Structure 1
Amino acid sequence: MDVLVLIGRVLFSVLFLSSAAGHFTQTEAMTDYAKNRGLPLPRISVLAAGVVFALGGLSVLLGVWADLGSLLLAVTLLSTTLLMHQFWKESDPQAKQGEMIHFNKDLALTGASLMLFAFFAHVDELGLTITGPLFTCL
C-alpha cells in the first residue's frame, strides 16, 4: 500500500510543481491575467502562488510535513478558485465555459488537498515519507 500512496503523491505533485515552474517562467503573462481579474498586487500574488505550489508540491512529493504542504495547497487553491475563476461574471459563453472548467478543477483539487491533509495528519504509519506529520489527529 505504501507504494500506491507514493505513486499517488508523485502524480498529485506533478501538477503543482509544473504550475510553480509556469508561475516563474511565465510571470508576466500570469500577472496580466491576474490584473485583468482584478487581483490586488497581481505580480506578488503570482509569485507567492508559485512559491506555495512549489513548497506544497515538494512537501507532498517528498513526505516532509506533507500535512502542512497539503493544507497550504488547499488554502491557495481555494483562493485561486474564488478570485481567479469567477465564471458567473463572464458574458462570453466560451470564456464562461473555460472559467467554469478551471473553477471546478480547482475546487476538486482543493477537496483532494483537504483529504490529503486529513490523511497525513491522521494516519500513524505513513510509509515512504521523510518526516511524520506536523499536525496530529484533529
Structure 2
Amino acid sequence: METLAAVGQVVLSLYFLYNGANHFLNFRGLSAYAAAKGVPAPGAAVAVSGLMLLAGGLALLLEYQVAAGAVILALFLVPTAFFIHNFWAVEDAAARGGELAHFLKNIALASAVLQLPQVIG
C-alpha cells in the first residue's frame, strides 16, 4: 500500500507542477482566457496562480511543508472553480458541461489535497 500511496503522491504532484509550468509556457493564451472571464489584472493572476501551483506541487513532491502546500493549492483551486469554471453562467449546454466537469474536478482536488497533511505531513 505504501508503494501505491507514493505513486499517487508523485502523480498528483506532477499534475500540479505540469499545470503550474503551463501557466508560464502558455502565458499569453491563459491571460487572454482569464481576461475573457473578467479576471482583473489577468497577466498577474496567471503568474501568481502558476507560482501557487508550482509551490504546492513541489511541497507535495518533496514532502516539505505539506500543509502549507495543500492550503496554497486549495486557495488556487476553490476560487478558480467558482470564478473561472462558473458553469451556472454558461448558456451553451456543451460548454456548460465542460465547465461543470472542471468545477467538480477543482473541488475534488481541493478536498484531496487538504487531506494530504494527515497522510504524508
TM-score by length of 1: 0.82
Matched to 1:26, the amino acid is N
2:68 aligned residue: 68
Unaligned runs of 5+ in 1: 121-125, 127-132, 134-138
Alignment of 1:18-97 (within 5 A): 18-97=18-97
The structure in which a higher percent of residues are helix is: 2
Q: Could you say what secondary structure the match of 1:101 adopts?
A: helix
* Runs of 4+ residues deviating >6 angstroms: none
Cα deviation, residue 40, structure 1: 0.9
Larger radius of gyration: 1
Of all paired residues, the percent bearing the same amino acid is 35
| Local SS of the residue matching 2:24 | helix
Shift of 1:3: 3.4
Question: For this pair of structures, how many residues does the alignment match?
Answer: 121
CA RMSD of aligned residues (A): 1.3
Q: Can you give the 5+ residue segments of structure 2 that lack an aligned partner in the other structure?
A: none
After superposition, the C-alpha distances for 1:10-40 in whole angstroms (9 at most, x for unaligned) are 0111110110111000001001111111111
Task: Please give the alpha-carbon distance, in whole angstroms, between the structure 1 residues aligned to 2:93 and 2:40.
Answer: 26
Q: Distance in 2 between matches of 1:101 and 1:68?
A: 26
